[in-house]
Amino acid sequence: MNDKSVEFLKSLLNAPGPSGFESGPARIWRDEAKRFAETVSADVMGNSFATLRGEPGQPTVMFAGHVDEIGLMVVHVDDQGFCWFDTIGGWDDQVFVGQRVVLLGRDGPVRGVIGKKAIHLMEKEDREKPSKVKDLWVDIGAVSKAEAETLVRVGDPGVIDSQFLAMPNGRIVSRSLDNRIGAYVVLEALRHLARDRARATVTAVATTQEEIGYTGGGAKTSAAGIEPTVAIVVDVTHATDTPGVEKNRHGEVKLGGGPVLSRGSVVNPRVVDLLADTAGAEGIPFTWHAAPKFTATDADAIFTSLKGVPTGLVSVPNRYMHSPNEMVVLDDLDRAASLLAAFARRVTSETSFIP
């Protein structure tokens, strides 16, 4: 991965963009796409598109990675200026305790800290109880409701104030790796294809609202707009190489082990086979993942879009998911992008995805 790609990734990860409020990272993604894509656009859902046109009569390939992240939202400002909040997406409530946050206020970012009663002030029986979001608040330093409301409003979103950190062995740590890196990988795959084109038309999509997309979110609407012949979703999956994880329940997935290919009821078996064959031909290591019911990714929404879209899921191993300090390996991002690009070059009008 070259320095320019790392800087793009860093900017993408650092930009706050919880579900429903993805415009910041989406703009960064589109600005980067304009460097090599033939067309770049956005839609009313906030989805971003970058396309390389293929030969006439050839199929359309969709690469999708969601650009949103989990976050929080102000639901009440009290008389003392404390901001009470609820979650955007799935959280372990304990993660919030003692964190700094950044709220997307009316005139720009507003910094705050998560407040909680100090342990010294708790009764003994309360000290052992887990923290709940309903008992936490955001302190932005205001001394009154009136002052606080000059900075924030009910409905303002926010994220944990955690930034990109490079670590040894090509590992990086950040919030929003789930799944800003999916949006990154699909655009990097398109960058590869700009240098060595596919016959197919290829559109990379940074989809929105996956973390709250109970009805399909931006993935479903973007698939309806593109009408792809085949789609590949890029997301993260749990690295199970940390202490205490039961591999007999969750599989064996190692950080740095390459992309993870899912098999299951909402991925097309011929897409899966073509991905695996492509990885073998390109010398890209990969791991299998079983998804017997659903994948809990954009693949679920795209697979059942329109009349049905043959869909594959390529995942990146990720430690500490849905925390301020998720961890991935840069080599796994490179391998995933290379796999997608090579897959697209193999798709032609003769390729069948009927099982």
Known catalytic residue at 32: no
What is the C-alpha to C-alpha distance for residues 286 and 174, in angstroms, rounded to an integer?
23
pLDDT tier at 120, thresholds 50, 70, 90: confident
Report percent pLDDT > 70 for the chain.
100
Strand-pairing partners, residue 104, are 109
Confidence at residue 215, expressed as pLDDT on a 0 to 100 scale: 81
* Residues 315-347 pLDDT 10s: 999 999 999 999 999 999 999 999 999 999 999
* Residues 94-116 pLDDT 10s: 999 999 999 999 899 999 999 98
DSSP 23-91: HHHHHHHHHHHTTT-SEEEE-TT--EEEEE---TT--EEEEEEE--B-EEEEEEE-TTS-EEEEEES--
pLDDT tier at 230, thresholds 50, 70, 90: very high
Q: Can you list the domains of the chain with their CATH numbers? A: 3-69+175-346 (3.40.630.10), 72-160 (2.40.30.40)
* DSSP state letter for 141: S
CA atoms within a 13 Å half-sphere pointing along the CA-CB vector of 50: 28
Q: Which of 69, 188, 210, 326 is catalytic?
A: 210
| Mean pLDDT, the chain, whole residue set | 95
What is the C-alpha to C-alpha distance for residues 53 and 38, in angstroms, rounded to an integer?
7
* Contact present, 50 and 134 (Cβ < 8 Å): no
**Helix/strand number for the chain, H first, E second:** 10, 17
Segment 34-61 shows an average pLDDT of 98
Confidence at residue 155, expressed as pLDDT on a 0 to 100 scale: 98
∠ CA 174-180-185, rounded to 5° = 115
Confidence at residue 205, expressed as pLDDT on a 0 to 100 scale: 98
Segment 58-64 shows an average pLDDT of 98
* Contact present, 30 and 48 (Cβ < 8 Å): yes
